[in-house]
Amino acid sequence: MKETKMRNKSNKQKIIIIFGLIIASALLIAVGGSYYYINKINRVKLDENKIGVTDVNQVPINDDKSTQSGRNKVKNILLLGVDNQEKASDSNIIISLDDTSKQIKLSSLMRDTYVEYGPDKVNKLNYAYHYGGPELSVKTINEKFKLDITDYVKVDFNGLTKIIDQVGGVEINVRSSEVKSLNGYAKDIASIGKTQYTPISRSGNQVLNGQQATAYCRIRYVGNQDYERTERQRRVLEQIFSKLKDKSVTEYPTILSNILPYIETSLNRIEIISVATTISNYGKNGIKETRCPYDGLRQDAMVNGIYYMKWNEEENVKKLHQFIYLQ
């Protein structure tokens, strides 16, 4: 299977991107970018002196020296999907807005990637957020992947539950091997949110409510672990996006009111409108997606009894930059 390919944006997005597209379209179509709704987003400014910004024009991509400049026409933003129970970034996705090709490019960074956060701490990529919030996440990714990210958007996964309930649930074919894990995660979600626990009683096709569907998305230790979890997330998102497309424009303000409190970003109000406009325009041209570290350039490893993904940094960085800046 190719790791980089065009994805139909109606059915191939991860949890973070569905939030981004919903917010962008809702802000622009439903309320015209009203500051009333934008002000519901939590904004936190990053200190650009502390986030390890790299001069991407100095990062070698190939032997063609003509490709060593002009990369400033791509705006990279880090999208973090945060699991508040674990206090870690469950999803780390670079969204690249390419002003040359007029495309959106998504680079998913594997959560188990082995990285270093300082002289003494060595851990997984997703725990950079645990140790230092979005600032350390941005810094770690900039330094390890040689990027120039200056802004981020953080999504609290609790917001997903709200959206699913609002669209009337999603129809999912739950396998028998998934029932126990789904109910376990649903119980945790209910406990954290102080809501009623509603387990499922069987496998097969059924309509899952927000709590159950969010739990379904979080199942990890069944089947092919993270890879199958991504597929589960996509199934749920297909359903959400399909139902949202059928919603009336008059319902968008309610959707925004429910999900924006779960969003945090370093972008200011003008930048939010600009990014929303760009996403809305470029999204019509399709979305390209990749995953890093790449197959053949990574290997499983156990460090002190904990699973990590070791990777060839130089070759992975080169391949990632080729995707972001040349394709």
**3-state DSSP of 82-124:** EECCCCEEEEEEEEEEECCCCEEEEEEECCCEEEECCCCCEEE
CA distance linking residue 274 with residue 36, whole number of Å:
16
pLDDT the model gives residue 11: 37
Instruction: Collect the ranges in the chain with pLDDT lower than 70.
Output: 1-35, 63-70, 84-85, 119-120, 122, 224-227, 230, 234, 241, 244-245, 249
CA distance linking residue 65 with residue 89, whole number of Å:
36
pLDDT the model gives residue 181: 94
- 228, 208, 207: which is closest to 218 by C-alpha? 228
pLDDT the model gives residue 14: 46
pLDDT the model gives residue 119: 64
- Residue 245, number of CB atoms within 10 A of its CB: 9
> Position of tokens 């119980």?
187
248: DSSP letter = -
- 161, 157, 158, 166: which is closest to 26 by C-alpha? 166
Q: Are 88 and 129 in contact (CB under 8 A)?
A: yes
| pLDDT tens figures, 297-320 | 999 999 888 889 999 999 999 999
Report strand pairing: 151-156 vs 263-265. antiparallel
| pLDDT tens figures, 134-172 | 999 999 999 999 999 999 988 777 777 887 887 889 999
CA distance linking residue 151 with residue 142, whole number of Å:
11
Delimit the domains of the chain by residue range: 7-157+253-326, 168-246
Q: Are 105 and 323 in contact (CB under 8 A)?
A: yes
> Position of tokens 């309509």?
207
Please tell me whether residue 231 adopts helix, strand or coil conformation.
helix
> With b meaning 16 or more CB within 10 Å and e meaning fewer, what string describes 167-182?
bebbebebeeebbebb
Positive or negative, the Cα torsion across 95, 284, 165, 250?
Answer: positive
Element (H, E) at 74: strand 74-83
Give bridge partners of residue 290 from the DSSP assignment.
Answer: 107
pLDDT the model gives residue 165: 87
> With b meaning 16 or more CB within 10 Å and e meaning fewer, what string describes 97-119?
bbeeeebbbbbbbbbbbbbebee
**pTM of the full structure:** 0.79
**Torsions phi, psi of 130, nearest 5?**
-60, -40
**Going by CATH, does the domain composed of 7-157+253-326 fall within 3.30.420.590?**
yes
- Residue 184, number of CB atoms within 10 A of its CB: 14
Find the distance separating the first CA and the last CA of the chain, reported in whole Å: 18
Element (H, E) at 306: strand 306-311
Same-fold call for 7-157+253-326 versus 168-246: no
pLDDT the model gives residue 190: 92
Report strand pairing: 263-265 vs 306-311. unpaired
For domain 168-246, give the fold: Aminopeptidase (3.40.630)
Tallying the residues shown for the chain, one arrives at: 327
